[in-house]
Structure 1
Amino acid sequence: MIKNLPRRHLLAALLISLSASFLLCGYELIRSSSNTLYKVAYGINAFPIVMAIMPIGVFIAIYLYGKILTALGPSRTLSLTTLLSGVFFLVAYFFIQRGSHLMTGVLYIFREAYVILIIEQYWSFLNSTLNNSSAKKLNGPIVGISSFGAIAGGLLLNHFAESFGTVTMLLFASVTMIPCAIFSMLAYRACGEPIPEGGLQEKHGALAIDLFRRSPLLTLLFIVMVTQVLSTVLTLRFQGMLELEIPNPDTQTAYSGGFFALLNGVATFFQFIVTPLFLRYLPLFIIHAGIPILHAIAVGVLVYNPSLFTAATALLVFKVFDYSLFRAAKELLYIPLSFDARYRTKEVIDTFGYRFSKGGTSLGLLFLGKAGFLLSTLYSWIAFGSTLLWLLLVFPLIRHYGPLKQTR
């Protein structure tokens, strides 16, 4: 299945997978460390504040990205944003070492922006380099290889955080950005830089917002936002049932470890085996419609019979598909679109839309809780409604996509 693919496509997939693997390794080091550092500085009750500010920081980041893209082009923009991220971690380390509480909040917001901004640049490159046939075979393994870096980052954190200190993990993360930049630069050199239609000037603005009006991109934005609502409420429902059925904190940790190990194992199987087969043999509409239907069934069982087992099952089903088939199938939708759609508007959808929806959902639930609503029962119903809305959005998405899919 792989051997007949063009060498250029295989090189693009391999080099970007390696780059993404180092990126996700560093992100795992930063994610847990930044949570701890912020919590120590401001306390756990201050998390809603930084979560409310976070979408603003993410939007500023992607707007600056759009301006840099216009000035430098895709290859140098990726190299610059990668290396600047590494430099930022060094700066943050020195400030936090000297007792800066403010920098812990800045680090938290930055970590939400940088990883997804760079990841989406990888996918912009792949969507501009691979054709539809190659992408169906390679997207799943690309996600799979990348996930090995996240596993390595978690292991590094587990082994070295206590002995070296949490803040020192920022130095480790900074180092990982060097191979990220090297492998992505090699990918562009080996496969070439995508040529924008009519040059790099901003025909549609820095983020090409006006493209939402005449393409499937607006529907895709809504789908991404709905998936993050679903992700948030399923995670909260799982954590609530875990605390309810397993009161002992250490036993909760042990259960969570086993659950996420199982999740990662199933996701790996889907990334390398299921996703390439499904993308090769099933129509894209069936895949995009089938995923929310499957989630609706899993969440429906949770609504009917709430328990730790049904909550864990619904969350596992969501995460496995989100990490594998949904991600791979979603990227296929960008391939026939223009350069501005793949490199500019995509960042609005998959960076800002993703983070804004996740943060907005958390804050909305916080206000509902303050207003006296019983959130534990609301989570499952919000999740079920999200799956139905997701399914409804698939129909206009595929209707728009049909006339475009033969253009590249």
Structure 2
Amino acid sequence: MPSMASFFLQRRFMISKFFDILWGHLSRDELRKFTLCSITFMLLVGSYWLLRVLKDALFDDLVGIVHQPKAKILSMIVIVPLVLIYTRLVDTVERHKLFFWICTSYSVLFSLILYCYTHPLQIFYTSFLPGNIIGWITYVSVESFGSLAIGLFWAFMASTTNTASAKRGYPMIYTIGQLGTIATTTMVTKVQFIGFTTLWAGASCAVFIVPFVIMLLLTTVPQETMQSNVKTNIQKKEKTGLFEGLRLLSTKPYLLGILVISTFYEVVVTIMEFQMKMLARQIYTTRETFAAFLGTYGQATNILAFAFALFGTGIIVRTFGVRFCLVMFPLVSGTIVSATLFNPSLSIIFAAAMITKALSYTLNNPVKELMYIPTSKDVKFKTKSWIEAFGARGSKGTGATVCAIFANDLPYLITFGTIASLSVISVWATVAFLVGTQYNRLIKEEKIIE
């Protein structure tokens, strides 16, 4: 028996060393913390990707994919009052209770949408919007969920994690989170067997579970492990206005830089994904086959993202630093987008969108979240909400505007959409270098943006 015990101890040591190589050494408390955070993130992004793919198929069924650019613009308008409500809640509600209010509200909303979709009524068809209004509500709801709920999670992480710990733990969170997205997008490829309503209901349940995992995190992880950088936590607790986040964003160049690196890639991805969907819609003509194609896209994207998160993100961030990663993403994206000009086929655009999307999840996003650590609470929760919600919606709206102009002319959409993407990337790469330089200076001098 001692030999058996020795065998398991040896294997445990090897696994521990493997994790150390991937993410760096994590203490026992850090491992517990980031494991629960990874489960939370997996539930959020897994349900979001499932709903994201299904909502495209549902929108096409009820309204028509050609109207998708207008839906993105509408979501940009609707997100403004939602962010104001969120900002108010930040001042009045404890962090863990924010998860309860937001996740429960969206879980109920998604359940109501499913009921209305499966019990159609004539009143759902209006004269002021094309098609069925449930399609428009679904699109806006899923888009806003992706901004607010996932944005809240990372604001929570930035307020409870120091810089050194984040460089080890964030790649772990993204790696495990990708397992959720791979699982859900794989389910979508089997939608004809599992059922559209079953998948949608499962996503609603996953969102509902999130607050309970957060409560488990807060009750089992020691308080000293749930601390951000010391200087960012020493602040007076005073209430600020609804537009405090917007004021900080408009007056701090560092935060404007975060806005650019957080959202400009959305312009590029929005254009490429719409090009891909328009090409795919000519081949996959039914709701189920189109949803399965989108599921395959999501599955491939997230498998690639998982592989990079597992073997690339942590090592690259720790080896080359934040600024290198910030600049690397737009340069790689520019190279990939350029390829679509020379061969604008479905397979090439599919691959380009897949690689860009995967890198956004596992290279740009983890590094972007590190940028919030040397900032105040108002920046982490209020400014971040404007960036993640309105900024992201604004970038998608910009990309959608380009798509809407050329929606009825596919060759022009591919040519001019790609040129617009390259123009955006040139600005994005320049800003990434500048904001990465300022981040390094803030960490070195132990200063914060407030």
TM-score by length of 1: 0.86
Q: Does 1:82 align with 2:103?
A: yes
Deviation of 1:150 after TM superposition, in Å, equals: 2.0
Match of 1:208 in 2: 245
Aligned partner (choices 264, 270, 273) of residue 226 of structure 1: 264
Amino acid at match of 1:176: A
Q: Contact 1:296/1:384 (CA < 8 Å) preserved in 2?
A: yes
Higher CA-based Rg: 2
Structure 1 residues 16 and 321: CA distance shift in structure 2, 3 A:
same
CA distance in 1, matches of 2:65, 2:118: 20
Aligned partner (choices 33, 36, 40) of residue 15 of structure 1: 36
Q: Contact 2:374/2:442 (CA < 8 Å) preserved in 1?
A: yes
Q: Does 1:115 align with 2:146?
A: yes
Deviation of 1:139 after TM superposition, in Å, equals: 1.5
Amino acid at match of 2:364: F
Amino acid at match of 1:367: I
Q: Contact 1:27/1:153 (CA < 8 Å) preserved in 2?
A: no
**Post-superposition CA distance 1:102-156 (Å, at most 9, x none):** 3442232111111331111111122222222222222222112112222222344
Q: Does 1:183 align with 2:221?
A: no
**Paired residues for 1:313-392 under 5 Å:** 313-368=351-406, 374-392=412-430
**Post-superposition CA distance 1:198-241 (Å, at most 9, x none):** 22512x53551111212511122123332111112232444567
Amino acid at match of 1:129: T
Match of 2:45 in 1: 24
CA distance in 2, matches of 1:97, 1:27: 20
Structure 1 residues 200 and 146: CA distance shift in structure 2, 3 A:
farther
Q: Does 1:106 align with 2:144?
A: no
- Range that drifts further, 126-135 or 25-34: 25-34
Aligned partner (choices 62, 65, 68) of residue 86 of structure 2: 65
Structure 1 residues 12 and 293: CA distance shift in structure 2, 3 A:
same
The Cα RMSD (Å) is 3.2
Q: Give aligned pairs, total.
A: 404
Structure 1 residues 174 and 43: CA distance shift in structure 2, 3 A:
same
CA distance in 2, matches of 1:297, 1:28: 26
Amino acid at match of 1:69: V
Amino acid at match of 2:443: K
Structure 1 residues 171 and 262: CA distance shift in structure 2, 3 A:
closer
Deviation of 1:319 after TM superposition, in Å, equals: 1.9
Q: Contact 1:211/1:341 (CA < 8 Å) preserved in 2?
A: yes
Structure 1 residues 191 and 155: CA distance shift in structure 2, 3 A:
farther
Amino acid at match of 1:186: L
CA distance in 1, matches of 2:72, 2:54: 16
Structure 2 residues without counterparts, runs of 5 or longer:
1-19, 125-132, 228-232
Deviation of 1:184 after TM superposition, in Å, equals: 1.7
Q: Contact 2:55/2:139 (CA < 8 Å) preserved in 1?
A: yes
Amino acid at match of 2:423: G
Structure 1 residues 270 and 81: CA distance shift in structure 2, 3 A:
same
Match of 2:155 in 1: 124
Amino acid at match of 1:351: A
Structure 1 residues 207 and 270: CA distance shift in structure 2, 3 A:
farther
Q: Contact 1:123/1:331 (CA < 8 Å) preserved in 2?
A: yes
Match of 1:171 in 2: 201
Amino acid at match of 1:133: A
Q: Contact 2:49/2:298 (CA < 8 Å) preserved in 1?
A: no
CA distance in 1, matches of 2:67, 2:345: 30
CA distance in 1, matches of 2:162, 2:347: 41
Deviation of 1:183 after TM superposition, in Å, equals: 1.0
Structure 1 residues without counterparts, runs of 5 or longer:
none
Percent identity (aligned): 22
Match of 1:271 in 2: 309
- Range that drifts further, 222-231 or 368-377: 368-377
- Range that drifts further, 72-81 or 290-299: 290-299
CA distance in 2, matches of 1:307, 1:11: 46
SS in 2 for 1:324: helix
Q: Contact 2:187/2:194 (CA < 8 Å) preserved in 1?
A: no
CA distance in 1, matches of 2:280, 2:35: 39
Aligned partner (choices 366, 382, 397) of residue 435 of structure 2: 397
- Range that drifts further, 252-261 or 187-196: 252-261
CA distance in 1, matches of 2:63, 2:280: 26
**Post-superposition CA distance 1:148-198 (Å, at most 9, x none):** 222222344454x55675345443222212321111222233355776822
CA distance in 2, matches of 1:61, 1:71: 16
Q: Contact 1:215/1:400 (CA < 8 Å) preserved in 2?
A: no
Q: Contact 1:137/1:276 (CA < 8 Å) preserved in 2?
A: yes
CA distance in 1, matches of 2:61, 2:389: 28
TM-score by length of 2: 0.79
